[in-house]
Chains A and B, each alone.
Chain A
Amino acid sequence: MPLKPYLLIFFLSFFSLTLFAQNKFTLSGTIRDASSGETLIGATVKITGATSAGTLTNNYGYFALTQPEGTYTVTISYTGFASVIKTINLNKDTKLNEELKDANDLAEVTVSANNRKNENVKSAQMGLERIDMKSLNSIPVLLGEKDVLKTIQLLPGVKSGGEGNTGFYVRGGAADQNLIILDEAVVYNSSHLLGFFSTFNADAIKDVSLYKGGMPAQYGGRLSSVLDVKMDDGNNKEFKFQGGIGLIASRLKAEGPIVKDKGSFMVSFRRTYIDLFLRASPDSSINGSTLNFYDINAKANYKINDKNTIYISGYFGKDNIGVKDLFENNWGNVTTTIRLNHIFNDRLFSNTSLIYNNYNYTVRLLNDVTNFKATSLVRDFNFKEDFQYFSNKHTLRFGLNATHHRISPIDITTSQESQVNPLTQEKRYGLESAAYVSDEWAVTEKLNLLYGLRLAAFSLLGPGNFGSYDPDGNILSSDKVESGKFYKNYLNLEPRFSLSYLFNEENSVKASYNRNTQNIHILTNATSSSPTDQYVLSSNNIKPEIADQVAVGYFRNFAENSYEFSGEVYYKWMQNQIDYRDAAELLGNSNVESELLYGTGRAYGLELFFKKKFGKLNGWVGYTLSRTERKFAELNNGNYFPSRQDRTHDVSFVGIYNLNKRWTFSSSLIYSTGNAVTYPAGKYNVGGQTVYYYTQRNAGRMPYNMRLDLSATLEGRNKGKFQSSWNFGVYNALGRKNPYSVEFINDPTDPSKTVAEQTSLFGIIPSVTWNFKF
């Protein structure tokens, strides 16, 4: 077993770092929001004195700094909050638990532009985007449903799947190459209503981080990005309620202390009511139809003592679509996470997680003779043990992770009269395990390193019959494997490395390299993601997908940190990418792996980002110039061809204007090159049909996309505890007909000719939402 020597090296290198000089003491603690008791993630803690140092609070608001004995000034700051400055005498290990006050509650305090000063420039981390949940509220979105997934698509390097699709593409990767985690649990399907909304109810979300590159070693399992979403912990001081009533959905959230200052809970619920419009229809077939989704987020935490805090969180969401007497389709995710934060000592912080998640769907066809019910399920049990060790110039992170997957591809049950046969496709079992170590090292004042190693193992487990296929997809042999047996094992070593070099406080260059691998893959031959997309594990036929990415960037802040600029270029190589044979039948096919083709990919691009962070008018401009291509021996004569999501230019402008205390206006404008598509190069006639002749794959372009969205928020005349606000929005204010699909049809005026017909989904869509809080 080659795993052991690696582990040994990890732990030896780690423990050698724990032996250090005497007369140093550790300042540690937890930083919270004074009004709710929520821990603050990524708050800056800076200490200056004989020596100076700084750090950020971790995902649980915890920090630790080790410095020589002496008197220090400690500055704790966080965007939107008033900074706290304290003087401490560090002559023993010291606890410093602080609560920061919301800057908005302190009318007299102007928010200092110095909060988290130049963090973006200094940190070795590249390719990271953090979504500020406060600005999320003012960014205009479809139907006023604020949405983190829609908002990240306004950032450079992140491309939307197009209207009616929450799938997103990061730096040329595919939609299934994003690791989307909610409180550590994988969310397999992040869309509601076939992609019009995301599964993340913004009310319940505390923090969203998107890694486009330079993924730290604690994350693994997907090629192109990590979207780490954390739920609110709940207010541990007082009971609070908030909610909103919108055109299509309503939301309600309750939170409060379980034991004051010790534990809290949060429950958030959201449901659409498009059904009600359906029911109002006089047409008996339409009013018998269903179209809704709902989701529940719940979380509770309890601080057992100073060293132990337990968190339990869960998500439950479901979509229901049905047309009377025709079909029903429902799908949803369930996640449950139990976590224990344990502080071994001031410097060693651990987090142990037990995670359960599943994604399932059901399709029922109600036709009299072809009636059947098909169900499918992906289920994971996941154990994570994560340690953070804070030393003088190092922050070490190391841990273990083991996930057991079970995939039930499809289960078809039928009635007696049905002409469809019952079918149970074999379940697939897999074990993904990983060990990782990473170190964030402030080498000098100017040079920061973040480097690590992740060892990712994957085993395809029995029971099952595993087929092997020839290059044409014909079955050669089949292995019968007993339960619990390891049929196929893969081991991948993933180096992660990034550094920043500061020319001065406001100026830095960064570089990174990282390798990521992936062992669970979506099979879909449609462009947009669908709830019935099928998951497969790596196997004797499917090799783990591998991506290597290098990136270089320049980071610059201007005018006391109030403007940020960054430019990054990246190049990504992808191996073992998956596509399909023509005539592939993916659903209910026991030999589905015979339909697959394997190839390589490459993606490269330039991302520019300019942001004004403060002031009455703030916002950003993002620009991406990129290319993403795939190569398969069996497709496009073996030449590289653009991926569907390849778009040369992507531009977004986001502007937020705070007119006065009551009115905030915002707008976003996006422009992007059209998707790469395959257009015919000719036509002919067979079987009485006009058939198109294709030469180059994805060599054509859809028309470009452009959309202006506007939104205005009016705060109520808030007296006392009850606060309310109105949000008015206009989606696609220019009313531009953006392309959804293009079809080639016979010209209506001259059927012997062919014309291209574009379908668009949305015109101008107004919305209004009333939000409240008390």
Chain B
Amino acid sequence: MKKFIQYIAVLTLCFTSCKKIIEVDTNNAAAQIVIEGNITDQLIDQQIVISKTVGYDEKGIYPKVSGATVIVTDDKGSRYMFMEKTPGVYVQAMRGISGNTYSLNVSVEGKTYTASSKMPNRVKLDSIGVVTNSFFGNERKTAAAYLVDPENETNFYHFNLYVNNLFSRRVYVNNDRLTNGNKLRIQLYYESDDDDDDGLKSGDKISVEAESIDSNIFDYWYTLSQQSGRGPNQGTTPANPPSNISNNALGYFSAHTYQKLSTEVK
């Protein structure tokens, strides 16, 4: 909608609609613990990453937190001890199973953080492709994921898009509230670091990671997606996404299925 309002502004003889960098008055908070934990259904080194926040105007180099005790258990009685592989990155080779609930227990700097997440059933990512849309007079190519949503359950999806191995800075998250049981084509608009987004070009290599996530993790990604690219005064009032981790830690702990497909833009 924001794009659309700008478009109207241009049409209503606004020759000078513009953007500029401004100084804003805001205080930096003390560093907070950030935990990002993923358990997938692949037999790989599963990762729990612990880091800290920095001031919003500081360089984006996030301090890693070492020396934590990281344990994951499941509701079938298994217990996995995670080891610190590089500073702040805790790993354990294991494979998650759909239907199991995984619990995370992190002890660090005198505090304990817990979270749990139930790994949903895997919904098959049938294929990925490229869709051409006409958008305000421009032909734009975008990536798309194809899958069939199961009718008998509530599903939540999260996608990651890579173009020429560069990660797209946009949160792709869907649920089946309005699309339950249908053949879906989910379009993933590429967003690069620079603002000039011309879509995909012939020869671009694209890969899509598809995750079936649980409802708490959907809320987490959905809140982020509502905020990205909008900012204060328009759109929703920004807030920290609802984390499923206790003790006010930022981040999330997600048990999800994982699939990846790649293709080349023709």
User: A residues engaging B (CB < 8 A)?
Assistant: 143, 162, 164, 193-194, 196, 247-248, 274, 277-278, 283-286, 291, 321, 323-326, 367, 369-370, 412, 419-421, 423, 525-528, 530, 580, 582-583, 585, 588-589, 635, 644, 675, 677-695, 697-698, 700-703, 735, 737, 739-744, 746, 748, 750-765
Contact = CB atoms under 8 A, between A and B. Distances in A.
Chain A to chain B: the 9 pairs with minimum beta-carbon distance, closest first: A763-B16, A677-B232, A743-B231, A285-B137, A681-B29, A583-B219, A682-B53, A679-B26, A741-B234
A740 B233 contact: yes
A589 B222 CA distance: 15
A742 B235 contact: no
B76 interface: no
A324 B134 contact: yes
B189 to A, nearest CB: 13
A196 B8 contact: yes
Contact of B54 (A682, A739, A757): A682
B235 A526 contact: yes
A768 B29 CA distance: 51
Given A582-B223, A744-B56, A700 B237 contact: no
**Interface SS of B by simple majority:** loop
B31 A421 contact: no
Contact of A684 (B51, B169, B232): B51
Contacts of A247: 13
Contacts of A702: 232-233
Contact of A737 (B1, B18, B221): B18
B168 to A, nearest CB: 9
B185 to A, nearest CB: 5
B203 to A, nearest CB: 24
Contacts of B124: none
Contacts of B24: 679, 700-701, 742, 756
Given A681-B27, A752-B60, A526 B21 contact: no
B233 A741 contact: yes
A585 B51 CA distance: 30
Nearest to A285: B137
A626 to B, nearest CB: 18
B73 to A, nearest CB: 23
Contacts of A528: 234
Contacts of A325: 133-134
A689 B224 contact: yes
Contacts of B221: 687
Contact of A756 (B9, B21, B62, B228): B21
Interface string B204-248: 000000000000001111111010111111111111111000000
B34 A248 contact: no
Contact of A693 (B20, B29, B36, B236): B29
A689 B169 contact: yes
B157 interface: no
A751 B193 contact: yes
A566 to B, nearest CB: 32
Given A679-B26, A684-B32, A762 B184 contact: no
B239 A697 contact: yes
Nearest to A690: B60
B167 A284 contact: no
B134 A164 contact: no
Contacts of A324: 134
B25 A757 contact: no
A754 B177 CA distance: 35
A283 B184 contact: no
Nearest to B38: A687
Interface string B186-205: 00000001100000000000
A277 B25 contact: no
14 contacts: A248-B12, A284-B137, A370-B185, A420-B179, A421-B182, A526-B234, A677-B233, A685-B51, A688-B160, A689-B228, A697-B237, A742-B231, A743-B230, A763-B15
A412 B180 CA distance: 14
B195 to A, nearest CB: 8
Contact of B17 (A588, A755, A760): A760
Given A698-B237, A737-B20, A742-B24, A761 B14 contact: yes
A66 B228 CA distance: 67
Interface-centre pick from A194, A742, A756, A765 (highest chain B CB count, 10 A): A756
B244 to A, nearest CB: 12
A278 B2 CA distance: 19
B54 A684 contact: yes
Contact of B232 (A164, A742, A763): A742
B52 A285 contact: no
B62 to A, nearest CB: 5
A291 B21 CA distance: 31
A765 B14 contact: yes
A466 B220 CA distance: 28
B51 A143 contact: no
Contacts of B220: 583
Contacts of A703: 22
Contacts of B182: 419-421
Nearest to A275: B11
A700 B27 CA distance: 9
B127 interface: no
Given A682-B53, A737-B20, A694 B12 contact: no
B260 interface: no
Nearest to A286: B137
A509 to B, nearest CB: 39
A81 to B, nearest CB: 38
Contacts of B8: 193-194, 196, 291, 321
Interface in B16-48: 16-29, 31-32, 34, 36
Interface-centre pick from B134, B137, B182, B224 (highest chain A CB count, 10 A): B137
B86 to A, nearest CB: 15
Contact of B56 (A194, A285, A692, A742): A692
Contacts of A635: 239
B242 A583 contact: yes
Contacts of B34: 684-686
B178 to A, nearest CB: 5
B145 to A, nearest CB: 12
Given A247-B13, A683-B53, A759-B19, A527 B233 contact: yes
B250 interface: yes
Contact of A762 (B9, B136, B180): B9
A286 B185 CA distance: 26
Contacts of B181: 421
A623 B2 CA distance: 31
A763 B223 CA distance: 33
B136 A687 contact: no
B55 A682 contact: yes
Contacts of B23: 756
A757 B16 CA distance: 16
Given A693-B53, A756-B23, A582 B239 contact: yes
A374 B19 CA distance: 34
Contact of B193 (A419, A741, A746, A763): A746
Contact of B26 (A162, A684, A700, A740): A700
A694 B240 contact: yes
B125 interface: no
A274 B12 contact: yes
Interface-centre pick from A323, A423, A583 (highest chain B CB count, 10 A): A583
Contacts of B134: 285, 324-326
Contact of B59 (A680, A753, A755): A753
A530 B34 CA distance: 36
Contacts of B194: 748
A286 B36 contact: no
Contacts of A693: 29, 32, 53, 56, 240, 250
